[in-house]
Structure 1
Amino acid sequence: MAFMDLDHLLSEPTDAVFETLVAVGPVEDAPLTIDTAVVLGGSVAGLMAARVLADHARRVVVVEADALPEEAAFRAGVPQDQQVHTLLPAGQRWLERWMPGLTREAQDRGAPFVGPEQAITAFDGVPQASEGEGYHLLALSRPLLEVLIRGRVAALPNVSFLRGRATGLGYRDDAVSHVHYLAAGGDADDRDARTIEVDFVVDAMGRASRLAHWLDDSGYDRPALERLEAPINYATALFERPVKFADLPTAGALALYTPRYPSGGVSVAAAQAIEDDRWLLMLMGYGDSRPGRTVDEMRSAVADLLPFFATVAANEPVGDVVTYHQAESRRRHFTDLHRFPARLVSVGDAVASFNPIYGQGMSSAALHASCLATYLRGRPDLDTPARAFFALQQVVVDAAWAVSAGGDAARLDATNGVEVPEELRLQRWAMEQITAATLVDGAVTDAFLQVTYMLRHPATLADPALLARAVAAGERHRQTP
């Protein structure tokens, strides 16, 4: 097993730390430093954490309140799982390293692996320029991805699943020592309340995690919660897809519209071919904009967008339109806590949840798992708080927050006429130059995609040579008749 010097890694530049985390893979013959590890939450982030822990613990138990179906099916505990989910290259590569053959298995189940020649990304109706081979995106429904990952994790000999709802933690010598939970069907007053002795706990309870309250009640520091008010409204519908994936000239599109573009209140439109010969079409609006609650309303909304969306919506609908509302992006800060129990970490939406349209949630969860693997590979003192883990994780969270929450904040400030500090104004101006240049310069597009696909850190876009190229490309574009 390759030892990871955590102090040395954390002394490296932020973009170098990020790229190390992107590249982390499993190791053979890792020493078992943990007896019983418990993951609270059996969604994607929890499953990825369980996969990492399986290399370091004698036993891994995943505690999940929902009944976990053997086949792809929507779950009450994942309210957004009927919306568009695209696995970005960073997440797809992580899964393929840790669960070899998962991409092929998804394709065998009908999930398209969409190459750049079949994909469109457009800003205000203008497609991005492309250069080189580009990237492939695994397009599938969230339930199918989750059941594929869960099947791989459940097949590990030291991983088991327990249906129940976690209700709190117990501590010994300032380290987590117990998980309290209610067995399926139990409530707080009956005899189904139970306890597991543990050596390590991962909070993967999602956006509504109760960990902060448990810590506060037990006298530990509560991680500060940062909120960005960015109210978004989704409308998603399934349509039949009569044309096979291989015969589609376009299999996926993402179109973003600024407030000045006459898009009928649609801020983002996305459509992709998924399994079962279906299309998944999603429209998103900010604030009071509701992009459609019926199929007819969605068809009307896409009439003035890229023609591809109208082509998708013209097919026979499958079921009703599903809506989703999210009032804010949020993140919890763990790096500045003074009193925090040992043998405890948080991952996924329990740490940071963003506007889902950027597609960074699942890939962020994969990189959080990579942080956990890197931390455990560094042979840390598990009887002290996992500060090195949270420092690594902050690199990932900052990167995703800069892209998604930063984009939302810029849009809302512009819409509301908010004055912003000069430094922030210059940062946003630079990003506008990069984004505009992607419409005419394939090299700038590639650098931009590496960041949005979570393969490289956003700091790489601040390279003076890249920014100069972007400004020059934009100027040439403006002077072209």
Structure 2
Amino acid sequence: MQRAIVMGGSYAGLFAARVLSDYAEEVVVLEPDEIGQNGIGSRAPQRQQLHALLAMGLAQLETWFPAITQELVDAGAPLGEGDDVQFYVDGRLKAPVSGARMLGATRPFLEAHLRRRVTSLENVRILRLQAGGLVFDGDRVAGVVTAAPDGTRGEVIDAGLVVDAMGRSSRLGSWLAQHGWEGPATDRMHIDLGYATAAFERGSELGGTVIAHSSPGPASGYLPTLTEAGALAAVEGDRWSVVLAGYAHHRPGTDADAFLARMGRCVDPLRKVADNCSMIGDVKTFHFAAGQRRSFSRLRRFPGGLVVVGDALCSVNPVYGQGLTLAALEANCLAAHLRSADSWREPAMGYFRRAEAVADAAWQISSIADLAQPHVTGPYPAGYRLIRRMADMVTTASVIDSGVNSVYMDVVNMLKHPRALSSPQVIGRAVRVLLAR
């Protein structure tokens, strides 16, 4: 194709631009914010929160941007594996698992390196413009109406393919309706999650620890009021990035003393950082009201020349750290579609079927745990009681058995589909482990 346009230049948009650079003569990324390496200039407050790059996300990052892991490490991002990565459930350190690697880095730092790689491509350019609407040519999208950051209407840029990477607040549905197209069905799960992130000076207080993650589980009824939910990551600049999370009335606030007090009720790594490290700057909070996913593959009619990636397609509970990895896997789906489609001008239903299968797997992981919260009222999947009972059993066994935890962590890291946890081998081993205990 002659030109592709990506509406949105954050993580998902940058991945999409990298994929499209192999298929289009020119790729134009529309991003109204002038974003610095520290995230200043972005109107997306969640960029300042701690983000996880799961093992699959790191693998995909290296696939599309070769040698970037070493580049990030050289720039100060710690890389951990084995005992450097610790997961706690109900206050107990889970059984050790070898193999999976996780990178400690803030999202602005990570995006800055991706943006540098993407803009170094000869056929990609980023314009400080925002998308203001779509242009149609019959039954296909043929371009984007642009606007300046202040909202002033700009020019129309023609395109063979347009990618919506505008996030969960994307206006695509209303734009489609303006031109007589049906919008996608949207599933929502209201979870009323709040989380807060703070930075701390980092020394040798935790040895080689890169990631420590703590969550409530079956023993506490999944109630974060009984076991504080939180995580820390060693990040660039010799800092710890610490996030605390809570639902409904237990959401964390911006008060630094209250933040430190909650860290003191968490697992040992977070207590040590609270006791030994100085906080840098303010506590930053974010409210995540509901997870949502949009289903395009079920539409009877959809215009050609249009795809959707990132949170604009599916936005799940950020506690599970799936967002960045999900965006990378959707980029894989886009590449697979462009390789196999008869024409990129036709409706991209092949892409949506692939991407929604990936999104559904992420939704399944997060929603089963979300539904354990007493204030979350559904919708419940068919067979939820049995699914929940098996999930509790496997989670409990994963704390004490490395074999079960190996599969469990592969699912958490999105290396395996959630169905792996319900295989006869895993269920059988979990039963034997718990009976022996």
TM over 0.5: yes
Say which of 132, 140, 145 aligns to 1:167.
Answer: 132
Q: Which of these residues, 449, 453, 458, is aligned with residue 418 of structure 2?
A: 458
Moved more, 443-452 or 266-275: 266-275
Q: How far apart are residue 292 of structure 1 and its match?
A: 4.1
> Out of 294, 308, 324, which is 2:269 matched to?
308
Give 1:335's match in structure 2, choosing from 290, 293, 297.
297
1:283-334, Cα deviation, whole Å (9 max, x unpaired): 1001111334222112211223212111112211100111111110001111
- Does residue 110 in structure 1 map to residue 76 in structure 2? yes
Deviations 1:210-244 (A, max 9, x none): 00110011111100111100011112111111239
Question: What's the counterpart of residue 320 of structure 2?
Answer: 358
Give the alignment partner of residue 52 of structure 1, picking from 3, 9, 19.
19
Equivalences for 1:316-395 in 2 at 5 Å?
316-395=278-357
**Which residue, 140, 146, 160 being the options, matches 2:105?**
140
Residue aligned with 1:87, SS: coil
Identify the residue that residue 448 of structure 1 maps to in structure 2.
408
Give the AA of the match of 1:297.
A
What amino acid does structure 2 have at the position aligned with 1:89?
A
Match of 1:63 in 2: 30
SS of the aligned residue for 1:235 comes to: strand
Match of 1:398 in 2: 360
Distance in structure 2 (CA, Å) of the matches to 1:351 and 1:140: 25
Give secondary structure in 2 for the equivalent of 1:439.
Answer: helix
Answer whether contact 2:135 2:145 (CA < 8 A) is retained: yes
* Distance (Å, rounded) in 1 between the aligned partners of 2:223 and 2:34: 44
- Distance, in Å, in 2 between the alignment partners of 1:360 and 1:176 is 30
Question: Structure 2 CA distance, aligned partners of 1:351 and 1:406?
Answer: 20
* Distance in structure 2 (CA, Å) of the matches to 1:460 and 1:380: 33
Paired residue secondary structure (2:383): helix
Instruction: Give the direction of change, closer, same or farther, for the CA distance of 1:75–1:425 in structure 2 (3 Å limit).
Output: farther
What per-residue deviation string (whole Å, max 9, x for no partner) do you get for residues 41-68 of structure 1? 0000000000000000000000011113
Aligned residues: 434
Q: Which amino acid aligns with 2:213?
A: L
Aligned partner of 1:232 in structure 2 is 193
Aligned residue number for residue 116 of structure 2? 151
Q: Is the 8 A contact 2:90 2:227 kept in 1?
A: no
CA offset digits 1:335-392 (Å, max 9, x no partner): 1111210010000000011111101000000000000000011143223211111010
Q: Distance in 2 between the 1:419 and 1:46 partners? A: 30
**More divergent stretch after superposition (163-172 vs 252-261):** 252-261
The match for 2:214 is: 255
1:277 is aligned with what amino acid?
A: D
Secondary structure at 1:374 match in 2: helix
Give how far 1:266 is off. 5.8
- Structure 2: distance between partners of 1:151 and 1:279: 25
Q: Distance in 1 between matches of 2:119 and 2:416?
A: 31
Is contact 2:6–2:164 with CA below 8 Å preserved after alignment?
A: yes
Residues 74 and 449 of structure 1: CA distance in aligned 2, closer, same or farther (over 3 Å): farther
1:130, CA displacement in angstroms? 1.8
In the alignment, what sits opposite 2:54? 88
Q: Does 1:276 align with 2:243?
A: no
Q: Residue 201 of structure 1 contacts residue 345 of structure 1 at CA under 8 Å; is this kept in 2?
A: yes
Identity %: 39
Paired position in structure 2 for 1:437: 397
> Match of 1:147, as an amino acid?
A
Name the residue aligned to 1:101: 67
Q: Answer whether contact 2:184 2:296 (CA < 8 A) is retained.
A: yes
- Letter of the structure 2 residue corresponding to residue 460 of structure 1: A
Q: Could you tell me how far apart the structure 1 residues matched to 2:247 and 2:237 are?
A: 31
Contact 1:266 1:283 in 2 (8 A): no
Question: Helix, strand or coil: the match of 2:45?
Answer: coil
Q: Counterparts of 1:392 and 1:93 in 2: how far apart (Å)? A: 19
The Cα shift of 1:186 comes to 4.2
1:15 alignment counterpart:
none
Q: What CA distance in whole angstroms lies between the structure 1 residues aligned with 2:33 and 2:356?
A: 29
Is there any run of 5+ residues in structure 2 with no aligned partner, and where?
Answer: none
Show CA shifts across 1:56-102 (max 9, x none).
Answer: 00000000111133x34344332211111121111111110111111
> Of the candidates 145, 149, 154, which is equivalent to residue 184 of structure 1?
149
Does the alignment pair 1:41 with 2:8? yes
1:289 to 239, 250, 264: 250
1:401 and 1:137 map into 2 onto residues whose CA distance is 22
Matched residue type, 1:123: V
Q: Which whole-Å deviations, capped at 9, do the CAs of 1:170-225 have from their partners, x for residues lacking one?
A: 111201112001123342xxxx4210011100000001000011001111110011
SS of 1:230's equivalent? strand
- 2:244 aligns to what SS in structure 1? strand
Aligned-residue CA RMSD (Å): 1.9
Tell me whether 57-66 or 297-306 shows the greater mean CA deviation: 297-306
* Matched letter for residue 209 of structure 2: T
TM-score, scaled to structure 2: 0.95
In 2, Cα distance between equivalents of 1:153 and 1:278:
27
Matched residue SS, 2:364: helix
The 3 A distance-change label for structure 1 pair 265 and 288 is farther
- TM-score for the superposition, normalised by structure 1: 0.86
Which secondary structure does the structure 2 equivalent of 1:86 belong to? coil
Q: Which residue of 2 aligns with 1:5?
A: none
Output the amino acid matched with 2:243: M
CA 1:418–1:202 in structure 2 vs 1: closer, same or farther (change >3 Å)? Answer: closer
**What amino acid is aligned across from residue 95 of structure 1 in structure 2?**
L
Matching residue within 146, 154, 163 for 1:202: 163
Q: Is the 8 A contact 1:170 1:179 kept in 2?
A: yes
Change (3 A) 1:418 1:394: closer
User: Contact 2:146–2:154 (CA<8 Å) still a contact in 1?
Assistant: yes
Alpha-carbon separation, structure 2, partners of 1:92 and 1:418: 32
2:197–2:244 Cα contact (<8 Å) kept: yes
Where 2:400 maps in the other structure, the secondary structure is coil
